[in-house]
Amino acid sequence: MAGDEPAPDVGTARTAGTGFERIDWTAVDDADSTVPPAAVAAEALVFFSLVAAFVYDYVILANEAPTVGVVGWDVTGVEWLLVVVLAIGVFHAALPLARNRRLTAYYWRQFQKNRAAVVSLGFLGFVFLVGLVGPLIWTAPNEAIDYAAAYQPPVFAGGSWAYALGTDAQGRPLWHLIVYGMRVSLEVGLISMVFAISIGTVVGTAAAYFGGYVDEVLMRYVDLQQTFPVFILLLLLIYLYGASLLLIIALYGLFSWEGTARLVRSEALQRGEEAYVRAAEAAGAGRWWTIRRHLIPNVSSTVITAATLSIPVFILGEASLSFLGFGDPDVFSWGRTISAGRSDLPNAPWISTIPGLFLFLTVLAFNFVGDALRDAIDPR
Amino acid sequence: MGMEWYVVRRVAWAVVATYLAVSLTFGLLMVTPNAGADVAAAQAAASGQDYDAVRERYLERRGLDRPVEEQYIDYITNILTFDWGYSFSQGEPVLAAIGDAWVYSAQYFVPAIIISALLGYGIGLYSALNRYTPTDYLGSFVAYFGISIPNFWFAIVLILLFGVVLRLLPTFYDSSVALLSVQNVKQLLMPVVVLSTASVAGQMRYSRAQAIEYARSAFVKTARAKGASEWRVLTRHILRVALVPLSTILIADVLAVLFAGSFIIETIFQIPGLGRLALEAIQQKDTPLVLATTLIPVFIAIIGNLLQDLAYVALDPRIDYGDR
Amino acid sequence: MQSTHGDSMSRRHTTTDQAEPLLRITDLRTQFDTDDGVVRAVDGVSFEVNAGETVCLVGESGSGKTVTAESITRLVECPPGEITGRIEFRGENLTTASAARLREIRGAEIAHVFQNPQDALNPVISVGKQVAETVRIHEDVSERAARKRAIDLLDRAEVPDPATTADAYPHELSGGMKQRVLVAAALAGDPDLLVADEPTTALDVTIQAQILDLLADLQREMGMAVLFITHDLGVVARVADRVVVLYAGKVMESAPVDSLFADPGHPYTRALLACLPGRGRESGSIPGDLPSPTDPPTGCRFAPRCPFAVEACTTDSHPSLYPVAQEPDTDRDGAGTTAGDSPDVSTPLSAAPLDGAASRDLETTGDGVNTAHVAACIFHGPDRDAAHLDREVSWTVAEPDGGGR
């Protein structure tokens, strides 16, 4: 499940001299899914190099100089976070799935029962790839301003193939705006999700496991956070500190984990009563061991579903803020493009409608996939 | 623990939550540079006055140079006594500005809530009792559509279709139209539809899931075995039990989806309601009004949650009064 | 428990065979469409219930008892369920009756008591209202009158202080008390048939006896028939007039309670009886598992677990049971062929030289197993004559334990 754990070794769990072989059952149970030491080393290496590269970018390189000189790409703070999140995804989602072929195949068969979800997954894969590498291929919208080419209709409305989806009031190709919008949505959705889900899982498990005052205090705070409408809080903070994509992502991550925490807590409370956790405790397993090896793996299906379904909420939230004019003025969020096209609605309706369609389809696809995942891995 | 003790504790919690929320806003104001002072100073500097001197005078006049604890007590007192200050952007006291604006918000907000609850529960329960039928599939499809469509984009598409192409409905809100007139209903139609779509879809999904859970339960079977009609089973048994979780979700939904929605709706349709008021306040750095428009939704949220907790007493006899 | 039955509702043998039975189920099939295929939960079940008598439907969990019971008034969810066959209640076929007609029958003529009283009452409605609901559904009475009736019914169900209890909510009552409330609600419509689906399984042993006594008393007072579903043979011995043994959606055997206990016909029945404590060996379980509900074995469903199975058992022309008791009309094989076309069954098996538990130990030699089986079952179709011959062999009842396989 987690790549940063030392690989349990059956050999070390045996103690000589007692006459009995003490067998670490979790190690035995997980024998086919244990993380090979190579993966742990690789992950440590990747994260170390990321930190080093980040320090290099911010301390040694001048602020203006592009990080990757060849393509002229200056990595921003949000992009650094995205890279970290992607690395986490590789080590904690992709690799475990690839290692555990049989389980993956089983989940895939369950998932495949939902056709709409399979199509949605394909669409999300497309958005992911284009959002990731698209900005390296197509020029930034602001470098493509061409007033001579303003208000070109898309190709299906009589436009030319040069601007397949048309252009906006400043002659920027809509496709470029959409590609850069995909990047923004990717960043908001994935980074906020990792933030929110991590905090929610930790808080929920801790509340369930420690109980008593810890539970009381944590859950009271969750109550309070739930009472405070996130959107209003965001507006207030943006008012006070000014808008930036990093702030929006951080705020969504920090202030919308209460649902996950509640879910995980109730799930963990239920699981905590089950025999295997009690058995682990009776066998003398430590608290953190029990939490990490028993509780967290067993609430993971709940967490994965909650994670998938939280992504569209964040994407929609950021788009709404940008639409209202509270987004980061330096990035081309879909919400911003839609808002900009509003005044041209009668004469150039494609400027607002086409990015909106992408936003709609992305959110729809996440909802389909999330529900299908719930049916596949969380059958209750 | 008795019911009275439970009620007292819930009310006490609401008071604590209010206090914490007010304190939080104060804390945020303290740690950030005063936007209003900057605006005033910048204006003064533009007209040839000394920037820092004007800024200091601005702070002094508002008592912002005093010790923090003094300011804090003042702040809390003012909030609690409804002395919420003067809005320079509206040119009237904050509460007066809010008093003018809320009517416009309520006009579309209240119908949207009623439609969400009635239509959402109605379709959801119907789908639950007619699973695997075409109506159920259509309902599920509509629900996915509703929760996924960005409301601002939906509004734009509707304006394009009904306002620009078909010319059936006005594209923006005209506040000079009489409250009780066909014209007013027509111009409120799109805002209400846009605002309630996401909420209706949410209620539909939850109520369908809840009803399916209860439709399989033993007590529903008992009711059927007594000869109860489907309608009776639905209204007297399923709905009665499902109302407890559903009302929680409705309140959470009203607070989250509709608040955020009202900003967007009022911007797009140019309705001079609370959302627009808040946005103008932010744009013009009108701190007292920003605070008021932040605190009002928070207070509404706290009261909503309190009402929800109290509704449990009436809805669910199983409630464990000692638990919370 | 068996020794205390005294005057309970058992042992009232009905002799009104000529009259139309209250309920006649013929070739009932209930299947469910699931993702894993079609589950035939009930697959050709036939039996009858006469007015005033108690019929026990016995079987392991998963044998289709509950689905059979809930198919009667179509309480199973359709779709995904699908019910075919004939369910005649006073001559009226309920499988084709309209939903409105079924609602008239439910509660007023056929009432149900379910297994788990914990979940069977609506948690947010007072129990008095839930009892009164039956009255208000079927009669046009005021709320006040319905409440009075409910209190009266609670009193008859021996609920202490019924006027106060009527205002209580389910979570304030004990399990046994909830079951009394449910019995009161079931009887509120004065039904002619009470379908009691494991009404005591979820209760403490002492409470079980009380509920059984209550049901027996009320049955006598009200003269209704009871279809009692249970897996507990102790309960069967206590309450039943006749017994229908169900296995994997099929009737294995049906017989009056006395002859069933004395001379179980089908090897499955014997296996069930062998599981009872105090039957010569410690109580145990039947080796093997229930067959797959989506893909049941051909032939006799019990054959894969049956120590007496012969090859013919696994084919469609498997040995069919013939009636063991003196009541040819009521004891039929549910699997297809009825007693009517087996003229050679006049010699009841109860004439076989076996009577008590003492003689149940037997010597099972290599082919002794087969002999015992053939004695219990009779071939029909082409092999009938051969079977007839084999039946001459004297036989004893085998304890089908694991070693016999």
* Residue B1 pLDDT grade (very low, low, confident, very high; cuts 50, 70, 90): low
Cβ–Cβ contact B301 with A under 8 A:
yes
Answer yes or no: are the C-beta atoms of C392 and C344 closer than 8 Å.
Answer: no
Domain boundaries, chain A: 35-111, 114-377
- C183 pLDDT above the threshold of 50: yes
> Which of B43, B59, B92 is the last residue in one of the domains?
B92
- A227 pLDDT above the threshold of 60: yes
Predicted confidence at residue C14, as pLDDT, reads: 42
Q: Which value, to the nearest 10 degrees, does the dihedral of the CA atoms of residues A242, A244, A246, A251 take?
A: 50
- A362 pLDDT above the threshold of 90: yes
Residue with the bigger pLDDT between C263 and B267: it is B267
Chain B residues touching A325 at Cβ < 8 A: 283
- A160 pLDDT above the threshold of 80: no
On whether residue B68 sits in a domain, the answer given is yes
Per-window interface: B 104-143 vs C, CB < 8 A: 132
| Of the candidates A198, A242, A249, A201, the residue with the CA atom closest to the CA atom of residue A80 | A249
| Cβ atoms within 10 Å, residue A259 | 19
- A8 pLDDT above the threshold of 50: no
On whether residue B255 sits in a domain, the answer given is yes
pLDDT in tens, C62-83: 788 888 888 888 888 777 788 8
- A366 pLDDT above the threshold of 70: yes
Minimal Cα distance from A359: which residue of B?
A: B150
CA A308 to chain centre: 8
| Of the candidates A79, A167, A197, A180, the residue with the CA atom closest to the CA atom of residue A139 | A180
Cβ–Cβ contact B311 with C under 8 A:
no
Cα–Cα distances (Å) from C340 to A239, C48, C82, C388, in that order, read 90, 16, 29, 16
* Record: contact B219-C79, CB cut-off 8 A: no
Chain C positions touching chain B (beta carbons under 8 Å): 70, 73, 75, 77, 79-80, 103-108, 111-112, 114-116, 119-125, 130, 133-134, 137-138, 169, 171, 182, 185-186, 188-189
Predicted confidence at residue C350, as pLDDT, reads: 33
**Does residue B258 share a domain with residue B175?**
yes
Domain C1-109+191-262 fold is: Rossmann fold (3.40.50)
Q: Which of A143-152, A298-307, C311-320 has the lowest mean pLDDT?
A: C311-320
Answer yes or no: are the C-beta atoms of B175 and B169 closer than 8 Å.
Answer: no
pLDDT in tens, B112-126: 888 988 898 888 888
Best interface-test mutation with C: which of B226, B244, B312 has the largest number of C CBs within 10 A?
Answer: B226
**Does residue B63 share a domain with residue B138?**
no
Answer yes or no: are the C-beta atoms of C342 and C379 closer than 8 Å.
Answer: no
* Residue C389 pLDDT grade (very low, low, confident, very high; cuts 50, 70, 90): very low
Q: Tell me how close the Cα of B301 comes to any Cα of chain A, in angstroms.
A: 6
Cβ–Cβ contact B221 with C under 8 A:
yes
What is A114-377's CATH number?
Answer: 1.10.3720.10
Q: Which of A37-46, A215-224, B142-151, B165-174 has the lowest mean pLDDT?
A: A37-46
**Does residue B83 share a domain with residue B108?**
no
CATH number (domain holding residue B213):
1.10.3720.10
Residue C190's contacts (CB-CB under 8 Å, 6 or more residues apart) are: C108, C222
Instruction: Quote the mean pLDDT of chain B.
Output: 83
* Residue B36 pLDDT grade (very low, low, confident, very high; cuts 50, 70, 90): low
Domain assignment of residue B213, given as a range: 102-323
**Does residue B258 share a domain with residue B210?**
yes
* Record: contact A335-B145, CB cut-off 8 A: no
Predicted confidence at residue A122, as pLDDT, reads: 94
- C368 pLDDT above the threshold of 80: no
Q: Which of B146-160, B199-213, C259-273 has the lowest mean pLDDT?
A: C259-273
- A174 pLDDT above the threshold of 80: yes
**Does residue B178 share a domain with residue B38?**
no
* Residue A27 pLDDT grade (very low, low, confident, very high; cuts 50, 70, 90): very low
Cβ–Cβ contact B216 with C under 8 A:
yes
The residue-averaged pLDDT of A153-169 equals: 77
* Residue A9 pLDDT grade (very low, low, confident, very high; cuts 50, 70, 90): very low
Q: How far apart are CA B48 and CA B67, in angstroms?
A: 31
Query: Which among A230, A235, A356 has CB closest to B150?
Result: A356
The residue-averaged pLDDT of A184-198 equals: 92
Query: Which among B35, B153, B302 has CB closest to A360?
Result: B153
* Residue A70 pLDDT grade (very low, low, confident, very high; cuts 50, 70, 90): low
- B194 pLDDT above the threshold of 60: yes
Q: Is the bond leading into A229 cis (omega within 30 degrees of zero)?
A: no
Q: Tell me how close the Cα of A225 comes to any Cα of chain B, in angstroms.
A: 10
Q: Which of A198-212, B126-140, C292-306 has the lowest mean pLDDT?
A: C292-306
Q: How far apart are CA A34 and CA A12, in angstroms?
A: 15
- C403 pLDDT above the threshold of 60: no
Residue with the bigger pLDDT between B323 and C183: it is C183
* Residue C17 pLDDT grade (very low, low, confident, very high; cuts 50, 70, 90): very low
Minimal Cα distance from C129: which residue of B?
A: B236
Domain boundaries, chain C: 1-109+191-262, 121-185, 265-397
Please give the tally of structural domains in chain B: 2
Q: Which of A25-29, A276-280, C289-293 has the lowest mean pLDDT?
A: A25-29
Predicted confidence at residue A67, as pLDDT, reads: 60
Query: Which among B144, B160, B282 has CB closest to A349?
Result: B160
* Residue A193 pLDDT grade (very low, low, confident, very high; cuts 50, 70, 90): very high
Residue C1 structure tokens: 């428990």
Q: Tell me how close the Cα of C106 comes to any Cα of chain B, in angstroms.
A: 5
Point out which residues pair with C30 in neighbouring strands.
Answer: C42, C83
Chain B residues touching C184 at Cβ < 8 A: none
Predicted confidence at residue C374, as pLDDT, reads: 36
Q: Tell me how close the Cα of B304 comes to any Cα of chain C, in angstroms.
A: 23
**Does residue B173 share a domain with residue B111?**
yes
**How many beta-carbon pairs below 8 A join chains A and B?**
117
Query: Which among A227, A236, A316 has CB closest to B28?
Result: A236
3-state secondary structure of C175: helix
In the chain, the amino acid numbered B51 is Y
